[in-house]
Structure 1
Amino acid sequence: MLILVTGGAGFIGSHIVTALAGAGHEVRVLDALLPAAHRTAPEIPAGTDWRHADVRDKEAVTDALRGVDAVCHQAAMVGLGKDFADAPDYVGCNDLGTAVLLAATAAAGVRRLVLASSMVVYGEGRYECLRHGVVRPGPRKVADLDAGGFEPPCPRCGEPLDAGLVDEDAPADPRNVYAATKLAQEHLAAAWARATGGRVAALRYHNVYGPGMPRDTPYAGVASLFRSALSRGEAPRVFEDGGQRRDFVHVRDVAGANLAALDGLDGSPDGGLRAYNVGSGDPHTVGEMAAALAEAYGGPAPVVTGEYRLGDVRHITASSRRLRDESGWKPQVPFTEGMTEFASAPLRAG
């Protein structure tokens, strides 16, 4: 098959391109190389049909879709942004770009789409109160955070909560502009599927890390920030008390999930979107991740600062059972092995 990968020069997209080519697919890449994400020229695998263009460019997208059998849509502006003034940029890149792409695929007769979504559509993770069962706490209060109270309490009785795994049927609760745009992408793709009889797999990535991760850009996740600090001889600075839980999933496993989702579209019903969590299934705290990375790198131990960022969630881990059961996909890179590799892997300048 000929697969178009939007954002195929990016951190995750480039690994997907490599995986697709390794599986015998022809690959075409469309990427705008936005300065916020790319400060150096990307390495494009030999034999890849490379198109330097913005996904919002209707003519370029239409041309890139010629002869294409399926699309892996990775192009997006990610991160929390600096403030709400960034909202138009996020909506333009993510939602307008997706709308242009979907309109062009409808016209071209392309009916198979794998969409890069995110765990952020859920907001906070799954919590259970001993008295009130499953509850959804609201945003944490500044006064509580200032006092070192990082765990969200039960919204009904104020008692402590137990954190659990979110599944794909949990209600969405996006809590920042980026999260809202990712959920809007899913809704747009679902509308496209219903209108055209297309098939969509929306992959809700968890905390992706691995070789080629960018540094010193808004695209850099916490693993990259810690790795960058270690390369400067500095201790990783861990916010809050380090106890916030995440699912750190290796980028090669994410690429494998895209291949599995693409294959799985053959068996999915026409006119529908199916969402899948993509995580390692082995959650760790941010503090544990920082310690493992520092040990593997041989650098200074992490420093827990007690600082916080408004809008951050406390715990977000999820079950990836749906993707495993329906496609046979399983993550292959264990946490310790992945962190050891990442400790010695070069970071991209952007």
Structure 2
Amino acid sequence: MLILVTGGAGFIGSHIVTALAGAGHEVRVLDSLLSAAHRTAPPIPDGADWWHADVRDREAVAAALRGVDAVCHQAAMVGLGKDFADAPDYVGCNDLGTAVLLAGMAQAGVGRLVLASSMVVYGEGRYECPRHGVVRPGPRRVADLEEGRFEPPCPTCDDPLVPGLVAEEAPADPRNVYAATKLAQEHLSAAWGRATGGRVAALRYHNVYGPGMPRDTPYAGVASLFRSALERGEAPRVFEDGGQLRDFVHVRDVAAANATALAGMDDLPEGALRAYNVGSGQPHTVGEMAAALAAAHGGPKPVVTGQYRLGDVRHITASSQRLRDELGWKAQVSFAEGMAEFATAPLRAG
């Protein structure tokens, strides 16, 4: 197949391009090289048909879709950004860009889409109260955060909660601008599928890390910020008490999930979107990740600051059982192996 990878020069996209080319596909890359992710021009994977263009450019997208069999849509502005002033850029890049792409696909008759979604669409993760069963806590109160009470309480009785794994059926509850734009991408893609009969696999990535992450940028993930600090000889600064649970999944596993989804596209329901969590299945706390990275790097031990960011959630870990059962994907890189590699892996000038 000829596969168009939007954002194919980015951190995750470039690994996907490599995986698809290795599986024998022809790959076309469309990327605008946004300055938030690219301070310098990145190397383009060998053999890729390179198009330097913005996914919001209708003419460029229409041209790039000619002859394409499927689209792997990675182009997006990621992370929490600096502040709410970033909102128009997020909506423009993520939602307008997706709308332009989908309109072009409808016009060109391209009916297969793998969408890079995110676990942030869920908001907080899954929680159980010993007295009230599964509950959904609201946003954490500023007064609690200021006092160092980071665990969300039961919304009914205020008792402590037990975190669990989120399945794809969990209701969406985006709690920041980035999360809202990722959910909007899913809704737009679902509308496109219903209108055209196209098939959509929405891959909800959990915390992706690995070689080639951009360094020192508010748009990067926490793993990159910790790794950048260690490279400078500084201690990673861990927010809250470090007890936030996450699922850190290696970028090569994410690339493999995209290749697997594309290979199984014809088995998906026609005209529908199917969501899949993409996680390692090995939850760890942010503090554990920082400690493992520092130990493997040989740098200073992490410092727990007690600081917090409004919009951050406390615990979010995934069940990726659907992706394993339906498409046969399973993460291959263990937490220990991945952190040992990432501790010394090159970063991008992001």
TM-score over 0.5 (shorter chain): yes
SS at match of 2:326: helix
Aligned match of 1:258: 258
What TM-score, normalized to structure 1? 0.99
Q: Percent identity?
A: 86
Aligned-pair CA distance for 1:42: 1.1
Amino acid at match of 2:37: A
Contact 1:37 1:218 in 2 (8 A): no
Cα distance in 1 between the residues matched to 2:342 and 2:167: 28
Contact 2:80 2:219 in 1 (8 A): no
Amino acid at match of 2:145: L
Correspondence 1:196-207 to 2 at 5 A = 196-207=196-207
Cα distance in 2 between the residues matched to 1:295 and 1:79: 26
Aligned match of 2:299: 299
Correspondence 1:47-86 to 2 at 5 A = 47-86=47-86
SS at match of 2:274: strand
1:273-313 deviations in Å (ceiling 9; x for gaps): 00000000000000000000000000111111111111110
Aligned-pair CA distance for 1:88: 1.2
Q: Does 1:322 align with 2:300?
A: no
RMSD in angstroms over aligned alpha carbons? 0.7
Contact 2:217 2:225 in 1 (8 A): no
Cα distance in 1 between the residues matched to 2:291 and 2:31: 35
1:173-197 deviations in Å (ceiling 9; x for gaps): 0001110000000000000000000
Aligned match of 1:246: 246
Q: Does 1:287 align with 2:287?
A: yes
Cα distance in 1 between the residues matched to 2:217 and 2:105: 31
In structure 1, stretches of 5+ residues that fail to align are none
Aligned-pair CA distance for 1:143: 1.0
Aligned-pair CA distance for 1:82: 2.3
Aligned-pair CA distance for 1:85: 2.2
- Between 1:135-144 and 1:83-92, the stretch displaced more is 83-92
SS at match of 1:344: coil
Aligned match of 1:165: 165
Aligned match of 2:151: 151
Cα distance in 1 between the residues matched to 2:297 and 2:177: 34
Q: Does 1:111 align with 2:114?
A: no
Contact 1:3 1:27 in 2 (8 A): yes
Cα distance in 2 between the residues matched to 1:35 and 1:160: 43
Aligned-pair CA distance for 1:58: 0.3
Aligned-pair CA distance for 1:219: 2.7
Cα distance in 2 between the residues matched to 1:56 and 1:347: 28
Cα distance in 1 between the residues matched to 2:82 and 2:289: 25
Q: Does 1:193 align with 2:186?
A: no
Aligned match of 1:341: 341
